Amino acid sequence: KNEVEQSPQNLTAQEGEFITINCSYSVGISALHWLQQHPGGGIVSLFMLSSGKKKHGRLIATINIQEKHSSLHITASHPRDSAVYICAVRSMSGSQGNLIFGKGTKLSVKP
Amino acid sequence: DADVTQTPRNRITKTGKRIMLECSQTKGHDRMYWYRQDPGLGLRLIYYSFDVKDINKGEISDGYSVSRQAQAKFSLSLESAIPNQTALYFCATSDARQGTGNTIYFGEGSWLTVV
């Protein structure tokens, strides 16, 4: 079983829809990252969370440490939001160097 | 200019050849990483370095070596490339200092094809 599971794997939405991507993890963590990977391949960090909620523009990330679960929400989705969204956790045990990555959620927003 | 620069961005090489991927960063970060990404799999750590004199193996270091030439430079070498090393490779950096949030910054990726 993967230590970081994302759902759904693929998501197609119509422009303007509210989108939720989920991330569950099975290890104790010190932080959780949400990353965005565009079709060209480059990866950008969207959020780093250790508790609560963060908002940046139309993106909102929440984390529930007790339930080991995080969600990334996109309000008023737009075709330019089409990308792969990756959840990654920094484990409290094991190598300090390692982030554990989910396999990503591929989002396609249709006009 | 990008904060984390990888070269080359694309490379096709033959089995058995030595290839080096280079990474440089302008963030002033002490921590640098090399990851590979394969279809259907999450990013996997190859090597990481917390400073110039510190090199650590990641989960998939076999067949790879690294060199931290300076705080800003971290290169990845495939001594004798094989086809299953065909992948997208990412360099990344982060800052361990308190209060920086430990955000991770990725390069644009290097597509490597071994034929």
Which of A98, A100, A103 should be substituted to probe chain B, the one whose Cβ sees the most B Cβ atoms within 10 Å? A98
Distance CA B31, CA B76 (A): 15
B31 and chain A: CB distance < 8 Å anywhere? yes
Burial of A110 (0-12, 13-18, 19+ CB in 10 A): exposed
CB–CB of B58 and A95 under 8 A?
A: yes
pLDDT given for residue B81 in this prediction: 96
DSSP category for residue A43:
E
Mean pLDDT over A57-79 rounds to: 97
CB–CB of B31 and A44 under 8 A?
A: no
Consecutive sets of 10 residues in chain B, 115 residues long: mean pLDDT of each? 89 97 94 92 91 92 95 96 96 74 86 96
> Of A42, A98, A102, which is closest to B58 when you measure between CB atoms?
A98
Average pLDDT, chain A: 92
Size of interface A-B (CB pairs under 8 A): 62
Distance CA A4, CA A103 (A): 8
Among candidate residues A87, A57, A72, the one with its CA nearest the CA of residue A20: A72
Distance CA B40, CA A9 (A): 10
